[in-house]
Chains A and B, each alone.
Chain A
Amino acid sequence: MSAPLLEVRHLRVEFPTRRGTLLALDDINFEIAPGEVLGVVGESGAGKSLTGAAIIGLLEPPGRIAGGEIRLAGQRIDNLPYEQMRAIRGRRIGAIFQDPLTSLNPLYTIGRQLTETILTHLPVSAEEARARAIRLLQETGIPAAKQRLEQYPHQFSGGMRQRVVIALALAAEPELIVADEPTTALDVSIQAQIISLLKRLCKEHGAAVMLVTHDMGVIAETCDRVAVMYAGRIGEIGPVHEVIHHPAHPYTAGLMGSIPAMDDTRERLLQIDGAMPRLNAIPAGCAFNPRCPKVMDRCRRERPELIGAGRTRAACWLHAQESFK
């Protein structure tokens, strides 16, 4: 395997509050290879969006990185001064957010927003930037790109806006795209269009993608590998097919079983009782232990690290025993 494009090591994100410090992300470890698509999946509050925000250096204060490091192509980016990080964001790491209406400025034309991004990051003339903007819009499948450049975001439909946002993210040919729930705000028919567009364009431009979503179907179709998050930690990480069909962590297994699939005939869905703990009440040991059907004594005392389990890696003591025997 080639050197990873993005390396996240022991990442820890804290939120200081009046009632003590909340640990929102705890010991997150993963890497993304050049051109790879990594899915990050989890339920609300699991910390998947925060992981994305930490990587692009857009943590909302008072949240802060309290430990660990993030490297982009070997270079540390988690401790860069604001101005240097600004030069990387947009240029080397592109971002796509959930709501295309809030990520576009309503007062500027689409063309101005695109050319501004291109001129900020690339050494090109104004005409070249404009030509490039038109090309980008055409690539994202927007008809009459030249005329559309003069229009404002409100003149675009939701799906078209998200196409513009993808064009913006790709404008400076970044090596990595962090896409946070890019299709959640869209209807299913549009969602399918946007996902296949994102997949195709990133492949053509050679960009790696970190795709944050709660929709396992989107992950299954798009990603090479997937990380499943639970209560601020990674519970399991591995190739998509393995994680879906042979989940090693009981939480992953429960999550997969709770999704109604198009071809299943079950009368009842598998359900994990209870809910994910709040950040101020994360249980000792494995955070999943109160809901886990296979809980053991050790799970209540000791916290598991990611352990090799078949072809995936899971933070679960079940697999430690297996390798021990």
Chain B
Amino acid sequence: MSPLVKVDDLAKTFDVSAPWLNRVLERKPRQFVHAVDGVSFSIHKGKTLALVGESGCGKSTVARLLVGLYEPTRGAVFFDGQDTGILKSSAANLRSLRRRMQMIFQDPYASLNPRWKVLDIIAEPLREHGLFSDDAGMRAKVGELLRSVGLASADMEKFPHQFSGGQRQRISIARALATQPEFLVCDEPTSALDVSVQAQVLNIMKDLQRQQSLTYLFISHNLAVVRHVSDQVGVMYLGRLVELADKIELFARPRHPYTRMLLDAIPDIHMSGSSRTPVQGEVPNPLNPPAGCAFHPRCPHADARCSAERPAMIEVQRVRVACHAVEEGRI
């Protein structure tokens, strides 16, 4: 079966140069951030791929590239076998593409218009795509969507401020589901929520996935959450994918030293009293990433080759990993 979403060598570079006048007067050079640099993966229908990494690793940029909020600098995104870059040239194709993929954002306080009723918020995508012409049908559909995320139909007459954070996030999920998309991009959907509310939202997302065989790209920095929701996990570091594997495989046998470090760094509630030796150092400045493997300054297994040559993705027992030490069998 061919994957629903396929990403091939995706890259995005942002120009963060000083203004023209400063460049001329102060002789400052042009500067670029390689936010995403050669990322490839694919997601099958009904599955969840999670991208994890620390802030600034480019995971949110990947999300935005996928739904078309950014134009890729290089590479392509294939949706249902078609190159979205080519589809975008025709407005009608773009419209139907947008109907099939939707996004859920991190902060439910910022992603809902405070002056709109819930009815208008959820009906907006329906109106935009011309899916309903009569008012009664629209209201019935909105009511149904609200019930599917565990809210009441009567809630459509309320405004966002009348809901708690978890309820607002459910409204954003209802809005994302309005056009019956096949693919949902979720950018840290539970990071702004408390744990008990996070559990509600994660349960709803899993239920909906089972009922409607939705496909998710799930962005998160919380490995325990990722382990709970995903089928496949991609670990990103400074704009590159360093490891991509099946969830069970990745958590049982992490290959890349960075993945090992991340797994070692999460405090777990069942390890009370245990002390770990945290990995030293911090994420380098993305403006000036280290040469070779970007992780080499913090890596306990780094050698001369790691600081000179950028490791390519290799496949070891169905796990894709970019690491010289793994390739050479040193770890």
Contacts and interface: CB of A to CB of B under 8 A. Distances in A.
Contacts of B54: 187-189
Contact of B283 (A187, A241, A275): A187
A24 B292 CA distance: 54
Nearest to A268: B203
B206 A216 contact: no
A196 B227 CA distance: 25
A271 interface: yes
Contacts of A1: none
Interface stretch (A5-13, A168-176, A217-225, A309-317): A217-225
B195 A244 contact: no
Contact of A272 (B196, B267, B277): B196
B325 interface: no
B272 A240 contact: yes
Interface residues of B, number: 45
B276 interface: yes
A159 B166 CA distance: 30
Contacts of B265: 188-189, 191-192
B279 A259 contact: no
B261 interface: yes
A297 interface: no
A269 B203 contact: yes
B203 A260 contact: no
Interface in B180-221: 194-200, 202-203, 206, 221
Contacts of A160: 282
Best-buried of A195, A199, A214 by chain B (most CB within 10 Å): A195
A220 B196 contact: no
Nearest to A251: B196
B304 interface: no
Given A221-B272, A244-B272, A262-B268, A188 B221 contact: yes
A260 B220 CA distance: 13
Interface residues of A, number: 47
B266 interface: yes
A192 B274 CA distance: 12
Interface in B268-284: 268-280, 282-283
A27 interface: no
A258 B196 contact: yes
B224 interface: yes
Contact of B202 (A260, A272, A276): A260
A275 B164 contact: yes
A69 interface: no
Contact of B195 (A159, A216, A220): A216
A238 B258 CA distance: 36
B275 A193 contact: no
B270 A221 contact: no
Nearest to B265: A192
B129 interface: no
Interface in A189-229: 189-193, 195-196, 199, 214-221
B279 A189 contact: yes
Given A220-B272, A221-B267, A268-B203, A214 B221 contact: no
Nearest to A270: B199
A255 B275 CA distance: 23
Contacts of B202: 260, 269
By CB atoms of chain A within 10 A, which of B164, B199, B200, B272 has the most?
B272
Nearest to B221: A188
A193 B280 contact: yes
B195 A217 contact: no
A271 B197 CA distance: 8
A44 interface: yes
B167 interface: yes
A199 B261 CA distance: 20
B78 interface: no
Give 7 nearest A-B pairs by CB, closest first.
Answer: A217-B267, A258-B199, A192-B278, A43-B194, A187-B54, A260-B228, A269-B199
Interface of A: 43-44, 157, 159-160, 187-193, 195-196, 199, 214-221, 240-241, 244, 254-264, 266-273, 275-276
Given A43-B196, A193-B279, A220-B269, 13 more contacts: A187-B55, A187-B221, A188-B54, A192-B264, A196-B275, A218-B267, A221-B276, A244-B272, A255-B196, A260-B202, A262-B223, A263-B268, A275-B166
